[in-house]
């Protein structure tokens, strides 16, 4: 009943658009099951339309993507106790991780992750000399091959924030120090989706976009002609009359402002409709938007139809986000709910099923 519909032609268009925007190599980030769009169908489309490599968080994700492509697959979130999968490039976020690779039976290609100011993961600057020397020795011993350095930008979604320049300067220092230590580091990357669009000076050898592949802008107000790929919908299961002053759903948090009608949609927090979205969600039915009212429950939400002059009836499709005709996209929902469009597209789960349209051309 509850469905995400993924437009593969949109995925193809967005990949081509990113490919045309940079001369650097294009690493398509497909972690979290391609941002909840499905790696099995998205990875082949991205590869056909310009992907040079793929990036994921975990080794489990990397194994899954490895089965779908011959392109390099990089994973960067792992524990030192994990076995290194064959054929997977590895992000190295600490000296402890590097030492575990030295003792591993395989000899992977690695990217040293340097912390340039995100202060989340990555090798701290005061330890760069130690890390680069250790990596040089390990490389000479055939323990692994260092392809380049990587880092993550904290504030690139705000192009006016000067902190990105601080991080860029630190990353350039890291590259210089690595080369002085004897590492070639020929494939360096820092740019996420926002930096790919707004900071061509930070493309280095490779860019690493994620969100924009799925058709969403990472910087509010920009428009690069992307096409959102996901629509989340469910059928109306009931239309009920409400009198003025009557309340709906738990805790009676909303009352009908006048006589009218409500629609019941079979989607709740067990399916990914966040309870915090109450009052922010606008559901499109027949190209018109209607406000969600009352508490989000585990299995259902209620939509206020007013007088229902459009004749909404059980069986009609209700779009939680993704109806272009109603300007009801994930970004608009995120703005109203005080969150980000990344979280919105990752939300559908539970009893939501996934279907695909388009041929990926």
Q: Which of 80, 93, 35, 83 is nearest to 63 (CA)?
A: 83
Own/partner pairs for 159-164, CB < 8 Å, 24+ apart? 159/194, 159/198, 159/199, 159/219, 163/117, 164/195, 164/199, 164/202
269 counts as catalytic: no
> Would the annotation count 298 as a binding residue?
yes
Burial status of residue 162 (CB atoms within 10 A of its CB: 0-12, 13-18, 19 or more): exposed
Q: Which of 89, 95, 91, 164 is nearest to 123 (CA)?
A: 95
- Residue 30 to residue 7: CA distance in whole angstroms: 16
Query: H-helix or E-strand containing 305?
Result: strand 301-306
Contact 115, 167 (CB under 8 A): no
**Which residues does 216 contact at the CB level (< 8 Å), separation at least 6?**
226, 228, 329, 330, 331, 341, 342, 345
Task: Count the helix, strand and coil residues of the chain and give each as a percent rounded to the nearest 5.
Answer: 35, 25, 45
List 71, 163, 244, 250, catalytic entry = 250
> Would the annotation count 27 as a binding residue?
no
250 counts as catalytic: yes
Q: Which of 39, 37, 76 is nearest to 216 (CA)?
A: 37
Per-residue exposure over 76-97, b if at least 16 CB sit within 10 Å of its own CB, e if not: bebeeeeebbeebbbbbbbbeb
- Residue 315 to residue 217: CA distance in whole angstroms: 32
List 31, 113, 143, 290, catalytic entry = 31
Query: H-helix or E-strand containing 44?
Result: helix 39-48
Beta strands in 93-220 (DSSP E): 109-113, 145-150, 189-191, 206-207
Residues annotated as catalytic are 31, 250
Q: Residue ranges for the binding site for substrate?
A: 120, 298
Q: Residue ranges for the binding site?
A: 120, 298
């Amino acid at each position: 009943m509850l469905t995400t519909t993924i437009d593969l032609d949109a995925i193809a268009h967005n990949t081509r658009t990113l490919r045309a925007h940079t001369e650097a190599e294009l690493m398509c980030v497909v972690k979290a099951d391609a941002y909840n769009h499905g790696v099995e169908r998205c990875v082949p489309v991205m590869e056909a339309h310009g992907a040079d490599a793929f990036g994921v968080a975990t080794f489990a994700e990397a194994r899954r993507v490895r089965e779908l492509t011959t392109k390099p697959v990089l994973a960067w979130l792992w524990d030192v106790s994990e076995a290194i999968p064959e054929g997977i490039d590895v992000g190295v976020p600490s000296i402890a991780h590097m030492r575990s690779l030295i003792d591993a039976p395989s000899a992977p290609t690695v990217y040293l992750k340097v912390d340039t100011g995100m202060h989340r993961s990555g090798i701290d600057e005061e330890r760069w000399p130690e890390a680069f020397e250790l990596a040089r020795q390990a490389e000479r011993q055939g323990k692994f091959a260092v392809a380049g350095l990587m880092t993550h930008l904290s504030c690139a979604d705000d192009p006016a924030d000067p902190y990105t320049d601080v991080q860029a300067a630190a990353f350039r220092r890291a590259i210089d120090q690595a080369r002085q230590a004897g590492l070639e580091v020929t494939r360096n990357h820092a740019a996420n989706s926002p930096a790919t669009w707004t900071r061509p000076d930070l493309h280095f050898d490779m860019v690493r976009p994620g969100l924009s592949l799925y058709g969403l802008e990472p910087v509010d107000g920009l428009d690069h002609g992307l096409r959102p790929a996901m629509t989340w919908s469910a059928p109306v299961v009931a239309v009920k009359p409400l009198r003025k002053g009557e309340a709906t759903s738990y805790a009676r948090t909303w009352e009908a402002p006048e006589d009218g009608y409500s629609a019941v949609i079979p989607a709740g927090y067990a399916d990914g409709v966040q309870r915090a979205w109450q009052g922010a969600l606008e559901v499109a039915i027949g190209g018109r938007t209607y406000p969600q009212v009352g508490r989000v429950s585990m299995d259902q939400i209620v939509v206020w139809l007013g007088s229902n002059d459009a004749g909404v009836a059980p069986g009609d499709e209700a779009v939680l986000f993704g109806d272009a005709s109603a300007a009801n996209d994930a970004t608009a929902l995120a703005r109203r709910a005080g969150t980000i469009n990344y979280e919105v597209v990752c939300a559908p789960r539970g009893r939501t099923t996934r279907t695909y349209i388009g041929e990926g051309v």
